[in-house]
Amino acid sequence: MDVKIEGVFMEPIMCPFCGGTNLLQEDDFSLEMDFEYWTIHHWECLDCAHSFDKIEILPTPNMFEEINESTIH
């Protein structure tokens, strides 16, 4: 299970499939879509060979400026 404490992303401590703790974090993938910034964190369990992801969706830094401009014009 992935946990966020006060806005800080915490890595998983165990596999959600087998409970194993031998996890390998692979490269993250990020992309920006409309007013959101997506980061996909990917892990592989070396105990059971299952893979799992955590997707973090954050507003883009200038999101509020763009919304205000679009409503004014």
Please state, in angstroms and rounded to a whole number, the distance separating the CA atoms of residues 32 and 34: 7
Strand partners, 30: 39
* Cα angle for residues 63, 68, 64 (degrees, 5° grid): 20
Amino acid occupying residue 66: E
Would you state the pLDDT for residue 5?
A: 47
Q: Is the pTM of this model over 0.85?
A: no
> 36-59: per-residue pLDDT in tens?
989 999 999 999 999 999 998 888
Would you state the pLDDT for residue 26?
A: 93
Nearest to 16 by CA among 48, 56, 57: 48
List, in sequence order, the alpha helices (H) in 1-73: 63-72
Would you state the pLDDT for residue 65?
A: 59
DSSP 10-21: E--SS-TTT---
